[in-house]
Structure 1
Amino acid sequence: MSFSWENVLIHPTDTLRDALEIINTESLRIALVTDNLGRLCGVVTDGDLRRGLLNNLSLNDEVSLVMNSNPVTADVSTPKDQLYLEMEKKGILSIPLIDAGKLVGLETLRGTIGRALYQNPVFIMAGGFGTRLKPLTDTCPKPMLHIGNKPILETVIRNFIKAGFVNFYISTHYMPEQIQAHFGDGSELGINISYVHEDQPLGTGGALGLLPKDLPEGLPLIMMNGDVLTKVDFQRLLDFHVENDADATMCVREYDYQIPYGVINGEGNKIISMVEKPIQRFFVNAGIYVVSPRVIASVPKNHHIDMPTLLEQHMHERSNVLMFPIHEYWLDIGRMDDFNRAQADIHSLGLD
């Protein structure tokens, strides 16, 4: 697949079919419409084409009927960090570059980040009922509740996109139509999204058994709950898992609990030590995992199992399940106070 912007050039009189072929063939997921003098007339995305077809246009109609004739552009001398901020602000994946009125290039979000693309699947659990967030979830699945200006699930997905991941699977159960209607096949975000549906809730690990058998061979999968906001470094997590040749890696958070009383230790009726209001520290499951193909293959279709139970089985088999402590921001949006905290945090985190 090519990353050359010259390969996505078309003319205003070319057809929707021509644009569709370019978008489906080239990796930039956009067509650039130019005139005979090399000036930019507009841009076309998959969403533009689908909206045109829904408005009864045919594939033989001219692309000028659906193109965005006023796209965001930038001067070719604009620094990459400014281009990145503009794309983030506008929620777009690329910006045409202009020099003396003519199109001379295309900068992409991935290009400004300067990171490699990962073919590893990302599997997001989005089927829960969100009972503790009622009445908000009476008419909306929890991952589709808005934090800031977009659904929780979109923030999660965009965070993975920034890290270079492009292949996504979403597990649904409760109100799946809302999730699929919003994200579609992922082309609007420049990624691939497929869905697996749980007819009955299968636990946090059971949906692994619904994944297709043609996942990229040999590649570990990142699995995450769809109601978690985090700034964890997914690339570092994946590198850790691969470098240690783990069967599975669980992200963990340190959790402190202060006992509100003085703790007395004794032998018989003799006090041997006293500790006033001691703090105990634990590692808790953060709801983010990396699992290798052998773990995925071990889950039968429509088999109910939670991830801790699944990982315990593999621990007993090979003792090769690791933990990855995360110190970055992390919030499980399970209760109303978590939801309210997320609304306050989102703008300062750079995740909105």
Structure 2
Amino acid sequence: MRTQLDACRIATGASLREAIKAIDRGGVRIALMVDGKGRLVGTLTDGDIRRCLLRGMDLASPASGAVQRQFQAARGSMLHTEAMALLRRHSIDQLPVIDGGGHLVGLYLLDDFLDQQAAGLPNPVVLMAGGRGTRLRPLTDHCPKPMLRVAGKPILESILEQCIASGLQDFHLAVNHLKEQIRDHFGDGSGWGVRIQYIEETTPLGTAGALQLLPEEARRGSPLLVMNGDVLTRLNLAQLLEFHASHGAAATMCVRSHDVVIPFGVVEAEGVDLVGIREKPVLRHQVNAGIYVLEPSLLDLIPPGEAMDMPSLLLAARAAHQRVAVCPIHEYWCDIGRPETLQQAHEDWARIEELS
């Protein structure tokens, strides 16, 4: 996604003529002005230069007179999906990337994102949206949990849009509780330019058991991306699929670091002798994040017609000597299972959308 920047760079003392050469040389319709320390000062497009020429400036004039100093930029840690959202939100074709010191380190191009999305990824996506959400009652008495709104949009719609932004196009929604609401909202996916099919459980089959109901082409093709329908995250899903492939795994489970603070002094003893005291220690665990990548062949490990959860399938894969990889995620992640996490998601997601 990031182009070579040398051709696009111009110095603060460059002329309009030099800016035009940089635009032509870079081939991405923008010149990037940097100071002597490599910090981004501003941007120039051919439109900026034309407006200066119409005002009577000549090509020998300083480019600083045309530079746009109020510009949109991405931080180096920004996900591709966030960068694309920023490009679209501000109707721009190029997005410089800067580090924490303001140094120019890259350039995102809308055309690159559109090419990736047009090409698409072949991986089927299974979104688990059949849970009853009992811990969120009474909100889920008449609304399926994945359709609860966070920052003005159903949780499941935000998940779908993030998948689409990563180039995924083939979706299977596992539904049960109040399934008609989900069907009525998403239909066949044509409103989002993707294909949506539905897995209907007559009885709950668990997060793994429902995969038995996938159509044959999904069971024999590319690795499956499986996500719980109540998880909001900024994880780069295309990179997750690359991680899975690069580690030669039969299954990959995403995990999130979770700290538990013991509010007491923990005593260490040998028999009746005191060895030590740890005051309010923090226990750090890796917890299941509800996002998985599975090779379709693993579905043969699910007992036909029986319920099975995903941890059981992963343990069965291990018992069958299949590699199960663990992918730590440091990006934003929220499992919306309780009223307090729903409220937290409202606050977090609204802030994330505002910054995108």
TM-score w.r.t. length of structure 2:
0.68
The CA distance in 1 between the partners of 2:248 and 2:262, in whole Å, is: 39
- Measured in 2, the distance between the counterparts of 1:218 and 1:152 equals 28
Determine the structure 1 residue equivalent to 2:210.
207
The DSSP-based 3-state class of the residue aligned with 1:250 is: strand
Cα 1:88–1:223 shift into 2, 3 Å: farther
- Matches of 2:191 and 2:111, distance apart in 1: 14
Q: Do 1:124 and 1:223's aligned partners in 2 also have CA atoms closer than 8 Å?
A: yes
Instruction: After TM superposition, give the deviation of residue 295 of structure 1 in Å.
Output: 1.0
2:155 corresponds to 1:152: yes
AA aligned to 1:345 is D
Q: CA deviation at 1:218?
A: 4.0
Kept after mapping to 2: 8 A contact 1:84/1:112: no
Q: How far, CA to CA, are the matches of 1:87 and 1:288 in structure 2?
A: 27
Number of the residue aligned with 1:59? none
Counterpart in the other structure of 2:336: 333
Residue 240 to residue 312, structure 1, CA distance change in 2 (3 Å): same
Alpha-carbon distance change, 278 to 188 in structure 1, aligned in 2, over 3 angstroms: same
Query: What amino acid is the match of 2:114?
Result: G
Specify which of 177, 186, 191 is matched with residue 188 of structure 1.
191
Provide the rounded CA distance (Å) in 2 between the counterparts of 1:108 and 1:127.
Answer: 37
- The aligned amino acid for 1:121 is P
Runs of 4 or more, structure 1, over 6 Å off, are: 76-83, 112-115
Give the gaps of 5 or more residues in structure 1.
1-75, 91-106
Q: How far does the alpha carbon of each residue in 1:94-138 deviate from its partner, in whole angstroms, 9 at most, with x for none?
A: xxxxxxxxxxxxx98951777852010010000000111111111
CA-to-partner distance for each residue in 1:223-263, whole Å, 9 max, x for gaps? 00001000011111111111111110000001111111111
Q: How many pairs are equivalent?
A: 261
Q: Quick check: 1:209–1:303 contact (8 Å CA) kept in 2?
A: no
- Aligned AA for 1:123? V
- Shift in Å, 1:293: 1.2
* Pair 1:308 & 2:283 matched: no
Higher alpha-carbon Rg: 2
Letter in 1 for 2:335: D
Aligned residue for 2:22?
Answer: none
Aligned pairs for 1:1-352 (under 5 A) are 85=86, 87=88, 110-111=113-114, 116-215=119-218, 217-350=220-353
What is the letter of the counterpart of residue 347 of structure 1?
A: A
Q: For residues 149 and 112 of structure 1, what CA distance do their matches in structure 2 show? A: 30
Q: What's the CA shift string for 1:126-157, capped at 9, x where partnerless?
A: 00001111111111101111112211000000
For the residues of structure 2 that align with 1:317 and 1:83, how far apart are their CA atoms?
41
Paired letter, 2:292? Y
Find the aligned partners of 2:115 and 2:47 in 1 and give their Cα distance.
14
User: One-letter code of the match for 1:163?
Assistant: S
Residue 343 of structure 2: SS of its match in structure 1?
helix
Provide the C-alpha distance between the structure 2 equivalents of 1:80 and 1:255, rounded to a whole number of angstroms. 34
Deviates more, 1:108-117 or 1:341-350: 108-117
Q: Could you say what the CA RMSD is over the residues aligned between the two structures, in angstroms?
A: 2.8
Offset, 1:80? 12
- Structure 1: distance between partners of 2:203 and 2:225: 23
Structure 2 counterpart of 1:185, one-letter code: D
For residues 170 and 159 of structure 2, the distance between their equivalents in structure 1, rounded to whole angstroms, comes to 14
**Hey, what does 1:104 align to over in structure 2?**
none
Among all aligned residue pairs of Structure 1 and Structure 2, give the percentage whose two residues are the same amino acid: 43
- 2: CA distance, partners of 1:265 / 1:225: 40
Shift of the 108–137 alpha-carbon distance from structure 1 to 2, 3 Å rule, reads farther
* Cα distance change of structure 1 residues 255 and 296 upon mapping to structure 2, 3 Å threshold: same
How far apart, CA to CA, are the structure 1 residues paired with 2:250 and 2:295? 5
Displacement after TM superposition at 1:302 (Å)? 2.9
Q: What secondary structure is seen at the aligned counterpart in 2 of 1:240?
A: helix
Structure 1, residues 291-342: CA drift from partner, whole Å, max 9, x if none? 1011123224432011111111111111511110000000000011111111
TM-score (norm 1): 0.68
